Amino acid sequence: MRIRLCLAALPLVGGAGLVTLSAPAATAVACTDLDVVSARGTFEPGTLGFIVGDPVYSALRQKISGKSLSSYKVNYPADLSPTSAAQGNADLVNHVRSQAASCPNQRFILVGYSQGANVVDNSIGISSAGAVVGSPIVATIPAALEPRVAAVLLFGNPIRAIGKSVTGVYQSRTIDFCAAGDPVCESGGGDVGAHLGYRDDADAAAAFAAGRV
């Protein structure tokens, strides 16, 4: 119940109504040097996500010089339905595959907050099944494209509350913020406000990514 209250503390937005796992056909955007792919948290408003996606993208633009950036908001419900994270997983992978095919020199920065961290986890092969608003893996970024993922930026990652983390080939490129007391990423945590404060970590996340591009 505490975790559900934490998720519900985010402002509600309407229009989340996808009911299948099939991702829409991805349309390639401009071939920038870096494409920032952001999966927002449950019910999180904003262009890429008010709490994490938007401030992180702004910080990346300031920290990374000499390279062009574009952004993509993962298309998924970001609600409490059992297939929500799986839909985001499918869309993220579909987008990366499409962009990679259209833009052979483009690299990617993956950003995920709360349920969006589950989406990113699944997409890089770390299952979020069993975590709050998690799901089994339905798609993964192909091994051939793995080197083009420059950095993975995670915030309030629910798999941490069940004792998991990003391991394997993406581990050294991943930074995973979990605020003390955040009940979504810390087992036994009880500070709902901690889950809503990751905007303060945007600069640190951007600095981490800048060091890997």
Tens of pLDDT, residues 60-102: 999 999 999 999 999 999 999 999 999 999 999 999 999 999 9
| pLDDT for residue 21 | 45
| pLDDT for residue 40 | 98
The percent of residues above 70 in pLDDT, for the chain, comes to 86
State yes or no: pLDDT of 133 exceeds 90.
yes
Q: Kindly state the tokens that stand for 60.
A: 């990346």
Residues annotated as catalytic are 114, 182, 195
pLDDT digits (tens, 9 = 90+) for 144-157: 999 999 999 999 99
- CA 50 vs. chain centroid, Å, equals 13
User: At residue 30, what is the residue type?
Assistant: A
Please, which pLDDT band fits residue 134 given cuts at 50, 70 and 90? Answer: very high
User: At residue 100, what is the residue type?
Assistant: A
| pLDDT for residue 29 | 60
The percent of residues above 90 in pLDDT, for the chain, comes to 86
| pLDDT for residue 30 | 77
| pLDDT for residue 182 | 98
- CA 197 vs. chain centroid, Å, equals 16
Among 8-22, 42-56, 97-111, 168-182, name the one with the lowest average pLDDT.
8-22
On the CB side of 101, CA atoms within 13 Å amount to 11
The total number of residues written for the chain in this structure: 213
Helix, strand, or coil (residue 33): coil
The residue that leads in pLDDT, 197 or 22, is 197
The mean pLDDT of the chain is 90
- Across the range 105-128, mean pLDDT stands at 98
